[in-house]
Amino acid sequence: MKITKTSFGTTKNGEKATLYTMENSNGMKVSVTDYGATIVHIIVPDRDGKMADVSLGYDDVKGYDENGTYYGAFIGRNGNRIANASFTLNGVKYDLDKNDGPNNLHGGFKGYNNFFFETECFEEEGEVSVEMSRLSPDMEQGFPGNLDITVTYTLTEENELAIEYLGVSDKDTIVNLTNHTFFNLAGHDSGTILDHKVFIDADYFTPTDDGLIPTGELRTVDGTPMDFRTEQVVGDRIDADYEPLKQAGGYDHNYVLNNSGEDVEYVASLYDPKSGRRMEVFTDLPGMQLYAGNFIDGKATGKGGKVYTKREGICFETQLFPDACNEKEFFKSSVVKAYEEYSTMTVYKFSVDK
């Protein structure tokens, strides 16, 4: 196993970015950049051993300078939406960027994916890791507390990509970190993901209002197009006459996972019948946003000159529930107390079905 470093270009502000590529003995490669702690490449074999990059993105850092679609992005300080771009903590109201209508999305206009991170590399038996860290200062994006953040990407010999998130703040604050990689297991440039199959171990999801803010209800998936407890083809029901799907323009919903929350457990999978590639998702977080790329607009040129369009990538964003800082009925708050460690892990494991 090894890690290599290469130049990844220069940002619009003249800052030089570096690409770190981890490779295991199976030929699987994962590349991340210190600009935004962003995942750039995930290269895995199909059933015939042919390698392909299964994550959407850009050829160099200039694409990630903008990246309004959040390809591969490390999301923070709060992933997903916060209603009315505000929350009250310890009797104090905090106002955030309104970058999604009246709401706050993925931290605001400048998310963690738009900052440089300090980087260290580690090689151990059976795995290699790239650790990225920075201090998010008090009131950055409008959130209280100096938050020390570390996100560690680890590649194993079992073709697992593990993402470990750690954070400690000197004040009570809100933390909900996630990753926004768009997967296409047929290859990033292969077109639609509507023929992919999805499994999600969740009996409930969180319906939303028209602004995609959860209403506070936990709704059963029974008898609805939201039910992925058995493997389903993404495109079969994505345009069904069902209000939550119409509100979001397709799948863009938080699922209430059936895991214990105590350990990193199997919660979901993605399968591409054409290539045989399978991805399994493991996490200790209570929620996962399934987002089927409904708003990919075809305006930006991606890797190799590919222009991505609607529903050509799909996200499995493990998370605390959206707007958990405001919705008191949700069973896991996004409030992190001063000097209390925020620690979660998500694993994406790749394999093939022969």
DSSP state of 78: B
Distances (CA, A) of 351 to 43, 137, 158, 231: 12, 40, 9, 16
Residue 180 is among the residues annotated as catalytic for this protein: yes
For residue 21 the two structure tokens come to 């590529």
The rounded distance, in Å, linking the Cα atoms of 157 and 162 is: 12
Q: From the candidates 41, 106, 140, 180, give the one annotated as an active-site residue.
A: 180
Q: What is the separation, in whole angstroms, between the first and last Cα of the chain?
A: 25
| Phi and psi, residue 90, nearest 5° | 55, 40
Helix (H, G, I), strand (E, B) or coil at 62: helix
For residue 88 the two structure tokens come to 């009250």
Residues contacting 126, CB < 8 A, separation 6+: 1, 156, 157
Contact indicator for 57, 302 with CB cutoff of 8 Å: yes
Residue 317 is among the residues annotated as catalytic for this protein: yes
For residue 98 the two structure tokens come to 């309104």
The partner residues of 61 in beta bridges, in order of sequence, read: none
The rounded distance, in Å, linking the Cα atoms of 273 and 308 is: 21
Contact indicator for 115, 135 with CB cutoff of 8 Å: no
Residues known to be catalytic: 180, 317
